[in-house]
Amino acid sequence: METIITIKDLRKVYKLGSEKVVALDNINLEIQKGQVCCILGTSGSGKSTLLNQLAGLEKPTRGAVYIGKNNISKFGEDRLAAFRQRNIGFIFQSYNLMTSHTALENVAMPLMFRGVPKAKREKIAAQMLREVGLEKRMHHRPNQMSGGQQQRVGIARAFVASPKIIFADEPTGNLDTKTTIEVMAMMVRMCRQNNQTLILVTHDSYLAQYADRIVTLIDGKIVSDVENKSIVDRMSNEEIVEYFLSENANLAETTVLESEEEIEAIRQELQEEKQAEGGEPPVGTAASTAGEEPAPKAELPEQESPADTAEENLEGNKQ
Ligand SMILES: Nc1ncnc2c1ncn2[C@@H]1O[C@H](COP(=O)(O)OP(=O)(O)O)[C@@H](O)[C@H]1O
Ligand SMILES: [Mg+2]
């Protein structure tokens, strides 16, 4: 597997008057291309600080951040800005959309910075908005949309220029549970499609289950780094909703949901509910093959695990 981000002996100290805050201390981490990596920690543990160093928004006090072979900690401002435009997408808790611009204009913005002509960028942005289910909201402004819709605009904007890396800092912090599930699944499945790397920052251990890997921070230090089987590769969105609403989702550890039986039980419940409502069972689901078919019925049939899609395919997608 190819390493896309390397963090070496990273330390970040903030000075507040005469006081020093050690926000990050001795961080070493390698993140693989195509990985969905969750940085998990309580408020004040250093998550946003880490993300800011990774994205080159702040300079480390000590140590270095490499993206590919580039030591971005050594880049000057202009080079960093250009590098970010080419390679990085951001998704924010508070969406950070331009309030006087429409959804379409917001999504087209990163393409403008990359010199794509107007007609072409509007076409690509419109396609992105369709992908996130907002074809009917293209000409709405942020204040004419719900939080979930605004964040889907934020996702479309982050992905529109096909960046290699997406950073998301508490992306669902302002959303209700159901919208959170939709938005999370959308982000991760979009990364899967193009083998993009997602760094997801959250305080919420439920959300960590979307990741391939969970790195836990306490007081600016990595205290645990575990692999996880992403929930999106195991369940459909509908099943994820059911799962999070069930008591099984009560997380003590960050690597729950080990058993296929558990998933199968959820599937079974969904089937029974559907049949009780008189609805037709979906084609090819657990109705006829209960217990034999552990593969998740994901919405994106072409999706593969990152291990199978290591090839360079980041150029030209979505365009
Ligand atoms: N610009 C800053 N100046 C001073 N202290 C800061 C600054 N940014 C963050 N900190 C401090 O660094 C620590 C980590 O903050 P942060 O990375 O924002 O945590 P998290 O995102 O996990 O909530 C906290 O103690 C916070 O108060
Ligand atoms: Mg934060």
* DSSP states along 219-238: TTEEEEEEE---GGGTS-HH
- For residue 276, being part of any structural domain is answered with no
- For residue 140, being part of any structural domain is answered with yes
**Residue 218, domain extent:** 3-258
Residues 256 and 259: their CA atoms lie apart, in Å, by 9
From the CA of 48, how far away is ligand 2's center (Å)? 4
Query: Which residues are found with C-beta within 5 Å of the ion, ligand 2?
Result: 48
From the CA of 50, how far away is ligand 1's center (Å)? 10
Question: In this predicted structure, what is the pLDDT of residue 271?
Answer: 75
| Domain CATH for 250 | 3.40.50.300
Question: Ligand 1 pocket by C-beta < 6 Å: which residues?
Answer: 14, 16, 21, 23, 41, 43-49
Is residue 100 predicted with pLDDT exceeding 80? Answer: yes
Residue whose entry in the numeric block shows the structure tokens 């250009």: 82
- For residue 309, being part of any structural domain is answered with no
SS3 category, 169? strand
217 CA: nearest ligand 1 atom: 22
- For residue 24, being part of any structural domain is answered with yes
The domain tally of the chain equals 1
Among 22, 40, 48, 204, residue to substitute to test ligand 1 (most atoms within 8 Å of Cβ) = 48
Is residue 249 predicted with pLDDT exceeding 90? Answer: no
Question: In this predicted structure, what is the pLDDT of residue 267?
Answer: 63
Is residue 315 predicted with pLDDT exceeding 50? Answer: no
pLDDT in tens, 136-164: 999 999 999 999 999 999 999 999 999 99
- pTM recorded for the entire structure: 0.80
DSSP state of 148: H
The rounded percent of the chain whose pLDDT value lies above 90 is: 66
The protein residue with its alpha carbon nearest to ligand 1, atom 11, reads: 23
Within a 10 A sphere around the Cβ of 223, how many other Cβ atoms? 12
Over range 105-120, report the average pLDDT: 95
Residue 254 near residue 205, CB atoms below 8 Å: yes
pLDDT in tens, 191-232: 999 999 999 999 988 899 999 999 999 999 999 999 999 999
The protein residue with its alpha carbon nearest to ligand 1, atom 2, reads: 14
- For residue 315, being part of any structural domain is answered with no
Question: In this predicted structure, what is the pLDDT of residue 205?
Answer: 87
- For residue 297, being part of any structural domain is answered with no
- For residue 209, being part of any structural domain is answered with yes
Is residue 310 predicted with pLDDT exceeding 80? Answer: no
- For residue 291, being part of any structural domain is answered with no
How many contiguous H segments (helices) and E segments (strands) does the chain have?
9, 10
Average pLDDT, the chain: 83
The protein residue with its alpha carbon nearest to ligand 1, atom 25, reads: 44
pLDDT in tens, 255-274: 344 445 655 666 677 678 77
